[in-house]
Structures are given as structure tokens and as C-alpha cells.
Amino acid sequence: MKSYHSFANKEIKTRKVTSVLVIIAVMLSAMMTTVIGQSLGILQAMRIQQAGILNGNRYATFRNLTYEQKSMLENDRRLSFVGSNIVLGEVSLKNSGLSLQLREYDDNGLAVYPAITRVDMGQLPSKAGEIALPRDALDFLGFMGDIGDIITLDLSVSLPDDYSEEEVYRYSTVFTLSGILKSNYLGYSTGIIAGIAGPGTAKTLLPEKYQVYSVDFRTADKHKHAFQHIVNDLADKTGISKRQIHYNWLYLDTLGIQYGKNESGESTEGGFSYMTAAGIMVGLLALTAAGLVIYSVLKIEVSRRIKEYGIIRAIGGQRIQLYVLVAKQLFLLCLIGIPSGVLLGLLSAAGITTAATNLFSPESFLVHSKEELNTLIEQNSSGKLLPLLISVIITLAFAFIAAMPAARYAAGVSPVIAMKGQAIKVNRKNRKEKRIKDFEAFYARLNMKRNKGRTLVTVLSLTMSITVFIAVQSFSELIDVSKEVQKFHLGDYSVTNETVGFMPSTVEELRMMEGVSSLLTLKYSLYMQEKDGSLAIETGFRLKPGETLQIIGVDEERLKMLMPSITKEQMRKMKEGKACLIKNPVAFSYTGGQPETTLFFAGDSVSVAGYEFEVLGNCDAVGLDNAGFVNGVQVVVFDTVYDLLTGKNTYSEVYLVLKDGADAQEVEQKIEQVCSKTPGSRWLSYRNTDKQLEESYQQIRMLAWGLIIFIGLIGLLSVINTTYTNIHTRIGEIGIQRAIGMSIKSLYRTFLLEGVYYGITAVAFGAAAGYICNIFIEAAATDQVKFTAIPVVPILEAAAATVAACLAAVFAPLRRIKKLSIVDSIRTAE
């Protein structure tokens, strides 16, 4: 042997099984990093596209601009896209709480709202006087005509500075129906159904005062810190106020672009950075799981070769040379494993994407054709060298990190002890004689205790695989943008009465309906100022001009939604009528300056109807479904406290959540019957809204589940690899057991039980670790760390798969060992 480096080559050739196991571990790690790197681009592209269809493919909107201000934005080179529209007016859709909003879009403006442009019949309007309306809006209007027929609409339009009913412009006109659009239920959450008018319609119908533009735009510079600077500069350039700027928060959060200003004047940032942190955590868990497989194989192999390393040390070998030997051996194996893993990873990523895309039509992927879908995927998947390079570097780094402890272990044992072949002194303490009821089970447990280091590594490797499987499932739910939109409505149905309200007995009747899982309630009273500023209810404060007072009564569940951090003590104060939440008014700017507004913050005191309340904090606006926020001070109190303040006990609105598998048609019939008993009642279903939101996530869910299944398979292969190594290195030991009389059946049962023990132990630790990861992943979505529901289904899936893999990994090598003679088993070195 010319150089001690040749020892690494020789060991690879002679230790074929171990070399193959290490190569498999490296391949699995490379495959995983490659698939994740290639698929994340597609997932993020789909996520961005989902946000675009849900709330428009735009960064922000400047509202109520003149033609000159609009032209300034269109000519600004810092904007990569500019589109505009004019509001022609709104039509109240009777007995629904919804409004039809008719807009005229320019050529660019309509392109950013794909959800409202899906034509079912006819075509989009092409000239003044033509309109296209969704099918559900036509149903609400009671329109029985067809394409080309005349439809009459009574419209009303106003400007933000119009504060009285006299300033609202109302008119009635006829339109020609050019197209029927597919129903878009996303607007139900905000109470708006969108209709489209042909170009030139606004000029023929609206007075010049109301011909103002809403301008949507995207900036050319997508840097997260540059966006706000550009918006501020454009606002100064056009001379608009902050209240005319509307950020598309859903889209910006998905892109990770900072926007807006908080109370301290600092830019706020979307939630994608939290998702990135969660993604990094999941990725590190997956890589650690693969690294532990490499470590366990090398650690066991180094332990077996400790005598050889002792000889090298005895003839003058240095510790650094042992490090080099282990590192070189791993590097040579990586030269085989990494390229193979990257290639298989590319093929796997392509297979996952192809399988997911073929299950749905292009329209479900938010595109209009298969060619457009293929282009989207190609632009965000294969052909990117950087993710492949990163995959190789990460795999190589984790492989060497995993190998170094084994090399350190080899270098740390003294030559004398190493040459004796015994690195650990075994001490048996407190041995007590007791009856062994099940010898195989006892022997399996004894095997695990005899080499605690090997047992720990095996269990830890299995635990990491389980943890990754659970964490990735939780992470896949985090990337669903539609969940943010679902927060705009509560439950599957809203039942509303703005006049007399529902009696408690009626609410109880709704609660007890078959198929209803839970029920949320809302009590609402609005107090307008008289000319002298007085109110019909006594208060310890005076409102500013134009503000209203609203007393809101909600149940415990709704309070937790409004204030997630509420403590038991604070909830007790709310129920006892000693505390409240406050929604402050929105500050409006008038000509000549900005008026003062009534403001309350946590720690302040508020007096209403002779009751003194401690303000626990500020909350989001609470109001009747789809009615919008009436500007003013909202005092949110507990349900029964509302009765004391207002003298009323009727409910203004009830939100119903159905049980899984409930008969929706039967529930709706009962809701209709209940509403018929109380005049002025209406109800609205959000089931179609939720269905449409869920459909917008279908393509992301399929790709995410492709990753979950793939990583799960890698985890199972890692389990098999680790357990197989554990059994394979004990061939000599098994031969001795057979020589002293252990039957093949007893041998099988012993090692199968050992596999079960490994699996059960790993499941216990993996479930706990997975739940902890689930808490932090949920924190990425809610911005607060709190206990979440235990992911029972993923834990059970991981448990079943892990135990099955352990049994399979034990069974395979035992079948091979069974064929060996006892003498050959004892002699076998590899």
C-alpha cells in the first residue's frame, strides 16, 4: 500500500454492503434536497397566482383620481403595470345583504381580476351600454332574459367626501346584456358582486364629478424595501391622501414585500417571512433526518473497524489521518450517490408535477390553457442551475457533518484499547433475579440496552423521519393563501335581521337544528349624533363630529377571535361587565385640515349607560354581515352585558357552522322557515365561497402532497436503511445465538419485537417533536405561539408506516441470514 489513502479505496471495495448503504443514504438526501429545490419554485409561483386570482394581480390601488392624476401614473416608468376602472354605481340585491357593483375597466384594468372575467355565455362588453353580469347576480335580480336582452338597473354612486344621503347620485338606466359570467362567490365575504360595463359607459351616464378613477399598479422594482418608497413618492406626486391608497395585502404578503406604516411610522411586513422561517425549519429537519442515517451507518461501521484503526494508530498514524480516511471514504461514496440522487430528484420532481397537473384541468390551475400551464411550470422548475448547485452543496455538507462524529470517535479511542477490540467497558449493576415471562421480548429489550449508543442513533433517526412527515403536512397548510380570505366571514351561513332582531328562543331553535355544529352570535345597536352632538344613550365622553357610537354584544367564542391573547382573568372581567374592547374611528381628512378623532387605547376607561369599563385593547371592526363599517366608536362587550347597556336582548345576526356530512339542503329549508317567522330577516350561504376558495388551493395542495408523500417515502427508506444496517452488523452475534440453540422462529420473533420497540419508541418521541414543530408552524400563520390541536391523523399515519418499515427492515436481512450456516454467520465480517 503506497499511501494510507489507499486504505479508503480498499475499505469501500471490501465493505460492499456498508458502502451501498451509505450511497443509498446520500442518494436519498440528494433526492430530497433536489425535489424540494425544484418544487418550491412551482409552489411559490402557484401561491402567488392564487393570491392574484383571489384579490387581483396588483400591488396597490390609488382611488378617486382625476384623469390627469391617472395619466401621471400611466407615464411613470417605475411602474411595470397600470390599469384603471370607474365605478358606475351599486345596486342593492334584495334580501341578500349583497350589492352588485358595476365598473367600467380600461384594456389593462380587467386583466388583473381573472376571477370576475370567466364567461359562461356570450362575451365581455365591447361598447358603451353593454354589460356582463354573473349568473348569481342575475338570479338575485330576478332576470329571466337571455344574451342581447335589455336589463334595467337602479344605481347609486357617491364619493368618499359625500356624507349625506342628498349627496349620493342615483339614476336608473337600461343596459344590453352582452354576456353572462360564471358566478364568483369570493365577493360574498365583502358583500360585493362585480359586474362589468363596456368602454365609454361612464362618460355617457355619470356627471363629470363622479368620473373618477381607481388605478391599479405594480412596481417594476420588486425589492421589498423599495416598494413603499415608490408608493410614497407617487402619492406626493399626485397629491393624494393616505386614505386613497389601498394595498393589496394578500398579494404583497405572498411576495414578501413590505408595505404601509404602523403607528410608529415603520413599514410593516407581510407574513411570508414567517412562512420562510417555517420552511427553513422543515427543510433542516428533513436534512437532519437524512444526515442521521449517514451518521448511524458510519458510526456502526467505524465501531466494527475500531481494531483496524487501532493498528493504524499503533504504527504511527495520526488522528488527523483517521479523519482524512473517513472523509475520503465518504467523499468517494458521495461522488456516486449525489449525482444519482440529483438525477432521480429531477425525475421525481417532474413526476410529482406531471401527476398533480394531469389530475385537474388548466382552469383549476388558474390558467386558461394547457400551454399556459406548461409555460408556468417550466419557468419555475427545471433548468435552474442554482437550486441544483445548492442541493449538491447542502447534501455534501450534511453528509460530512454527519460523518465527523464517527471519525472523531475513531480518532479518540486509544490504540491499546482499539487493538483489543473493546472500546467500552461493560458494567452490570443491580442485577436482580426475576422470572422471564416472554424470553423473546426480554431478549429484544436486552439487545437494545446492550448498545445504548446504537439504539439511540436508530431511534433518533426514526424520530426525525416521523417529525419531518408531521411537520411537512402542517407546513403545506400554511402556504394556503385562501385561508386569509376565509377570515372575512364566519361559519357556513349568516342569518341577519337589522330591524327587530331575533329573540333568544329563535336563536336557540337555530342552535338545536340537526346538522348544526356550532353557532356564533352578534348583538348590534347604532347610535347617531343629534344636531347638538347628543346621543340616545348616556356616555362619559363626547364624540367628534361625524362619528357614531356602536354597542356590540358578542359571545365568548367571538371574543377570543377578536382578542386571541385574552386571558381567563380578562374574560372574567368581560363577562362581569367590567371590561370591553374598542374599535376606534377612521380618521377622515377634510378640506382645510384633518379633524380630531375619538381614540381609546388599552388601559383607558370608558363610561356607557352608567357602567364603567376598562379598555382591554383595540380590535378589528365588528358589524352586520356585508354592511360595512359605519365610522365611529365601537364598544364591544359580552353578550349579557349588552342587554344591560341597551335594554334589548335580541340578536342582530347569527352565524351557523355545519357538521361534516350534514344535509345542507335540509338545513337551508329550516333556516328559511325560521326567517319567515321574523319579518325583515335574510340569510346568506358561504358554502360556495368556501368551495371556490378551496378550489383555488387545489393545485398547490396536490403539489404539496406530492412532496409530502415523496419525503415520507424517503423517511421510510431511511428507516429501512438504518434498521437494516443495525441488523446486518450483528450477523456474527446472530450466528452465536443460533449456535447455542435459538430456533429460527424464536430469532425472527426476537428481532421483529426489537423492530416494533424501535418503531413505538420513535413514534412517541416523533409525535411529541412533530407537535412542537406544528406549534411553531402555526405560530408562523398567527404570529403568536400557542397550543394547537394535536395532528392525530398524521401521527397515526407516521406510526403505522414506521412500525411497518421497521418490521420490513428486520425481516429482509433475517431471511438472508437464515440461509447462512451457523459457522458462516459467525465468520461473516460484512
Q: Which three cell numbers, joined as nine digits, stand for 183?
A: 358566478
Nearest CA to 495 out of 678, 646, 659 is that of: 678
CB atoms under 10 Å from CB of 213, counted, come to 23
Question: Whats the size of the chain, residue-wise?
Answer: 830
Burial of 703 per CB tally in 10 Å (0-12, 13-18, 19+): buried
Given a contact cutoff of 8 angstroms between Cβ atoms, the answer to whether 137 and 93 are in contact is yes
**DSSP-derived secondary structure letter, 589:** P
* Contact between 344 and 27 (Cβ < 8 Å): yes
Question: What grid cell was written down for 752?
Answer: 421483529
Instruction: Please name the residues in contact with 339: beta carbons below 8 A apart, sequence gap of 6 or more.
Output: none
pLDDT of residue 749: 84
As averages over each run of 10 residues, the pLDDT of the chain (830 residues) reads 62 70 75 70 74 86 93 93 94 85 91 87 93 92 91 89 67 95 84 92 92 93 81 92 88 83 41 52 64 65 66 74 77 83 77 62 54 58 61 73 69 66 52 74 79 72 75 71 73 88 90 88 92 88 90 93 90 95 77 69 93 93 77 94 93 90 86 86 85 72 70 65 66 77 81 82 84 74 67 81 77 70 62
Instruction: From 286, 328, 289, select the one nearest 458 (Cα to Cα).
Output: 289
CA-based angle 542:543:544, to the nearest 5? 120
DSSP states of 727-753 as a string? HHTTHHHHHHHHHTT--HHHHHHHHHH
3-class SS string, 182-204: CCCHHHHHCCEEEEEECCCHHHH
What is the rounded CA–CA span in Å between residue 638 and residue 635? Answer: 10
Report the alpha-carbon distance of residue 151 to residue 142 in Å, rounded: 11
- Owner of C-alpha cell 357617491: 158
**Residue 592, pLDDT score:** 46
CB 818 within 8 A of CB 744: yes
Amino acid at site 825: S
pTM above 0.75, yes or no: no
* CA distance linking residue 84 with residue 110, whole number of Å: 8
What separation in angstroms does the CA of 811 have from each of 132, 524, 587, 752? 67, 67, 72, 7
Is residue 91 within a helix (H) or strand (E), and if so which, with residue range? strand 79-93
pLDDT at 733: 74
* Structural Rg of the chain based on CA atoms: 34
Q: Please, where are the H alpha helices in 576-697?
A: 639-646, 664-677, 687-696
Q: Write the Ramachandran bin of 609: left for phi over 0, alpha for psi from -120 to 50, otherwise beta.
A: left
Give Cα 828 distance to the centre of its chain: 52
Hunting for cell 390558467 — which residue is that? 367
Q: Which three cell numbers stand for residue 107?
A: 384594456
Question: Cell numbers of 121, please?
Answer: 355565455
Only one residue has cell 428486520, namely 810
d(CA 90, CA 156): 5
